[in-house]
Amino acid sequence: MDPAVSRETPSTPEVARRAFSSARLPVAEAYAALLATDGVVRGLIGPREAPRLWDRHLVNCALLGELLPDQAEVCDIGSGAGLPGLVLAIARPDLRLTLVEPLLRRTTFLDEVVERLALDNVEVVRGRADALHGVRTFDVVTSRAVAPLDRLLSWSMPLVAPTGALVAMKGSSAAEEVAGAAEELRRWGCAEPEIHLLGEDWPEVSPTVALRVAWADPRQVSWPLAPAAKKRHTAGGRSRSTSKRRHRT
């Protein structure tokens, strides 16, 4: 390993002990080390991000767990290097995570992290989110910086169970995204979106803005989508092939 890269591995700040339990902190530290080394070398994390992994990425993603119910089945679309999916799996071992990512180099990294950290509550799926439409549903569908809300709805809502919700990490323009997606929200039959500011009382990190979207009337939700509805709501194009790999210790 390049010594110049390994020196970028960040030390564990005190705020990490608040975000992760004492039992899970060593796992989070191991993940941070992998992100700061292999993640940088493989181009999954920018070199300038390595020194601020904890406050800018890991702790912020862990805060999203406040919106997830106990024992939930969670699908993280566009997982990339595992943010927020792997962080949630580490911080909340009661959750069952499915990480969906189309790029091979990213799923290879995710598979390696899952195996090295013995995360038996994680499944890695190589493919686009729409490859799972009509096949599986989840209690929660998460994402981070994947797409504006109007497009995110078409990828996420077909995966959301009738009593579930989309929970996406967003930036300061979350309210503007909600306003711009008003027509799509009505078309999908969504309830009024909720904007949550997580970690406001954590002075060590910037608050996490999360957008939660549920169904307006769960009784009217039935998947898989009828062909006409799927054609209307889902982005066009042929799905890439999907392969699944489940890890167990």
- Reported as half-sphere exposure (CB side, CA atoms, 13 A), residue 44 has a value of 25
User: Which parts of the chain sit beneath pLDDT 70?
Assistant: 1-10, 223-249
- Asked, for residue 206, whether it belongs to a domain, the answer is yes
Q: Is 180 annotated as a binding residue?
A: no
| pLDDT of 243 | 38
In-domain check, residue 4: no
State the total domains in the chain.
Answer: 1
| Average pLDDT value for the chain | 87
CA atoms of 99 and 193, how far apart (whole Å): 24
Instruction: Quote the domain boundaries for residue 178.
Output: 69-246
Contact 99, 123 (CB under 8 A): yes
Strand order in the sheet with 122-126: 194-198, 208-214, 160-170, 138-144, 73-77, 96-101, 122-126, 243-246
- 83 appears as a binding residue in the annotation: yes
- Please indicate, yes or no, if residue 62 is contained in any of the structural domains: no
For residue 147, the domain's CATH number is 3.40.50.150
3-state helix, strand and coil shares in percent for the chain, rounded to the nearest 5: 45, 20, 35
182-220 pLDDT, tens per residue?
Answer: 999 999 999 999 999 999 888 778 889 999 999 999 998
pLDDT in tens, 33-57: 999 999 999 999 998 888 889 988 9
Give the pair of three-digit tokens for residue 67: 């919106």
Q: Is residue 29 part of a domain?
A: no
DSSP label of 238: P
78 is in an annotated binding site: yes
Residue with tokens 């790999």: 245
